[in-house]
Every structure is written in structure tokens, then in C-alpha cells.
Amino acid sequence: MKVILQAFEWYLPADGKHWKRLAQTIPDFKKLGLSGIWLPPASKAASGMEDVGYGTYDLFDLGEFDQKGSIATKYGTKEDYLELIKQLHENGIEAYADIVFNHMMGADDTEVIEADVKAEDDRLNEVESDKTVEVWTKFTFPGRKGKYDDYIWTSHNFTGVDYDERTEENEILEFEGHEWDDNVDDENNNFDFLMGADLDFSVPETVAQLEKWGKWFVDTTQIDGFRLDAIKHIDFEYFKTWLDKRQEQMEKEPFVVGEYWSDDIEKLEYYLSQSGGQIQLFDVPLHFNLDQAASTNGDFDMRGIYANTMIERHPELAVSFVDNHDTQEGQALESWIQPWFKEQAYGLILLRKRGTPCVFWGDLYGIPEQNVEPVGINLRRMLALCGHADFVSEYDYFDDADRIGWTNEIEIEGEKTGLATLLTNRKGGTKYMIVNESQAGKVYVDLLGRHAIPITLDEKGGAEFHVDDASISVWIDQDLLSKINPLAELEGE
């Protein structure tokens, strides 16, 4: 089963060593069965080594030029980045690049132009017309000196900004001769503008530059796919052509997932209808269902955990996740899943046939800056099982508001077996579930180690499976468990 890792979190040290750390961690990635690694933005950003990477300054600077106070990015040098991707490939793991096309930040010079001031909460409502403003929109990249590309970005390439240097005021400015894209999210009536200097995708030179960079980047890195940032703010049809050209260039279909941050499944479905069917989406509605289940003192009806989610509606296009860099505590989209529910949440994305699960670095390896410990060995056990197994079939037992379960037929290391998962956000107990008639008489044990007493399956291949209060249990064939190398290796940790 395909499973990916978001290989960073917001509070990593700004020491320029993360690419090297990831390369050193590849043996663990292999042991856990990871298929692909989502890498953070590799291009130089406005705050140099202090920037997580989403304030894009120079796309062509992958940590090669002395710009914004350093040669390296927060994560390392171009050489380190390319070496990491090479080593991932040598170990059979794909690498996915985080692409930020919505905006640019950290311009090298200002321009004086005319602009209309728009209302913060209604971007189509004009507050003031034809205002003379001074804006940071000229990107000359003096440190790169024209290597790879000598194009100079100016206000011609952008729709607007949110800061007037002349008055030192923050306000939403739409440039004269430009208009917000209309095929974007309708929050604030129009949510084209998010931050920085907003790229205008109706300008041919802007589109041409992004195409030129895309070809250069793929040729340079041999990347396998893309995570697309802030797509709700970018013309919904833009990526059709860009991705078509990348697929032709790569001579394969790249893995592509977009970040459309909304819990409204109807909005996600509309985006899918407009974007050409090449882009999978993060299952943000499922994340918020998990958040509710974790934060409502057991009052959430677990039978509806997948209601109105990508997993329910479009499983083949769903990338499920528990948390990410934006939901961490202290971030703008903070919605951190409470620790007591993390194992259940990961069971709901890792031990299912539907969707592509994405595990968060902070959950797997911890967040030292915030004193957040890794979720622990049980996450690693579930991840290794997911990464090394093929989920053949699935049957749900979603018949109780507190305790839900399901069974699977899986194939792992050439052998077919069964799996039974039971979890609760409140009271523990038992549930009778049938795994498969072929499993009759087999002895099942709890992979997560909470229940010491094995269970023998009846003639139907079923049994009363147990789960503790506010917990999860995962039951698997005792004889096969000891033969599964990836799981056996974890037991010494």
C-alpha cells in the first residue's frame, strides 16, 4: 500500500542540515515501508535560513547562491538536496517537491504604481480607487546574476500586494490593469489574494516563467511528484497545462497532491471538476472530523468519522492525514489532534484500504522545540504494517456510536492473512467481527500489545475482539506476526 511521509515540521532547527538528516534516516524509512517522501520547499525564501520555505523568493535558488543572508536554505544546499533525492531513489523511495506558486516575497526593490484598495473581508469591494502606492514587486535576484534565468519580475507579473511602503500601511491592493482571478475560492467573496506579491496567472510572461522553471527543476532534480501549496487561491484550471507538460517531460504520471484548506467537501469536489483530474487532495474534512472526535469528550458519533470526506466520496483521490505543519500548535491553522486520540486517528488512515495515508514528521519523530514526544512504537507498528501490506478487502462494523471496527484481508510478504481493528473515543468493550472464513481456528494477538490474552477465531473466522477505553486494538495472526520481518524488527526498539 502506498504511504508517504511529510518529512518536516514547522519548528525544525534553522541549521541548514535537514537534507543530510533525512539522508541519514533513509534506513528507517525503508524499515517502515514508506513509498514516498514529501520534502519541504527547496527554493530560497524571503527570510533565508530562517524561512520554512513558503515565502518564495527565488525559485531557481535551491541553496546555491548567497541571497537573503545565506547560501543554504533552512534545510541545506542544492548539493545536499540533489544527493538526498538520489539516495531516496537508490532505496526505492520516491521524492515529492513542495511547490509554492501562489505568491513571491522578499522583493529586491519597490515600484510606484496605481492600485485600488480592497476590503479585507470582501476582496471585490473597492474601498479607494486609483491610489498611488509604493510596493515591493521588483525581483532582480542579484546574488544569482542571471544564472539559469535572467528574467526580472515586476508589478506586471502580479495582481496585488498587502502593503504600501509609502504610507507603511497594510491594506489589500489590486494593481491597475490587473484583476483577481475569478475561478478561486469564494471566501472573502474572492480569495485570490493570500499574501506577498500575488502572481497573476493571466499574464503570459508569468505563466512562461513558471513553465521554464518547472522544466529546469524536473531536469535538475529528477523529482517524482509534487505537493501543490495554497491551490484554493490559484486559478483552478492553471495546473492542467503545467502538469501535462511535467508528465510528458517525466515520461510517467507524477504523484500530485494539492492543499485546498477547507472542510467543505463540496468545495473540494468543485475543484476536482475544474482542475482536470490530475490532482489528488488532502482530506481536510477528515482531519476536522478527527479533531472533533478528539476534542468533544467522547460525544462525537464515531459512525460518522468518514462522513462528507474525500475518503468517503473520492477515495482514489484522497490523501489522508492526521496533522501537518500548519495544524501544529501556534500556527495559523492550528487544529492539533489531542495526543490521547493520535493512535486511533492513525489507525483510521493507515489500516484502511481506501486513500493514500500521509504521516506527519512531528508525530513520527517528535517536535523537540515544543516538547512534543513521538506518538511512539504503536504508530511505527501500524505504519510498518501499512507500508509492507497489500489491503485486499475490507468490511466495516460501524454499528455503535462509540466503538467502531473493521476487518481486512491483507497480503504481506507473499502470505495472505487477516486483520481486525477496533477503536473507541469513549468506552471500551468488545465487538464480534468476522475476518475471513479462511482464518477459522487461527490465533490472533493484539499487535499494539495492550491485550496479553490471544483470541482464537471461530468456524466463521470471527471473534469477540476487545478494546480498552479511549483506545485502539489491532488483531493479527500470531503465527504470521513473528514471520513478518518489518514488524519483528520493531520489537527490539
> Among candidates 42, 33, 34, 38, which has minimal Cα distance to 96?
38
* C-alpha separations of 235 from 190, 228, 230, 489 in Å: 11, 13, 11, 47
Q: Which helix (H) or strand (E) holds 480?
A: helix 478-481
Strands (E), 233-325: 255-258, 280-282, 318-321
Burial of 334 (0-12, 13-18, 19+ CB in 10 A): exposed
Please compute Rg for the chain using Cα positions.
Answer: 24
From 108, 111, 114, 259, active-site residue: 259
From 9, 171, 198, 229, active-site residue: 229
Cα dihedral 406, 412, 418, 420 in deg (nearest 10): -40
Q: CA–CA separation, 180 vs 194, rounded Å?
A: 11
> Among candidates 254, 269, 245, 270, which has minimal Cα distance to 318?
269
Residue 366: helix, strand or coil by DSSP?
Answer: coil
Contact 420, 451 (CB under 8 A): no
Q: CA–CA separation, 260 vs 231, rounded Å?
A: 6
Give the relative orientation of helices 265-274 and 284-295 as an angle to the nearest 10 degrees: 170
Q: Is position 400 annotated as part of the catalytic site?
A: no
Q: CA–CA separation, 378 vs 106, rounded Å?
A: 43
Joined together, the cell numbers standing for residue 137 give 514587486
Q: Name, in order, each residue with C-beta under 8 angstroms of 126's C-beta and a sequence gap of 6 or more.
A: 116, 117, 118, 119
Q: Is position 229 annotated as part of the catalytic site?
A: yes
Catalytic annotation, residues: 229, 259
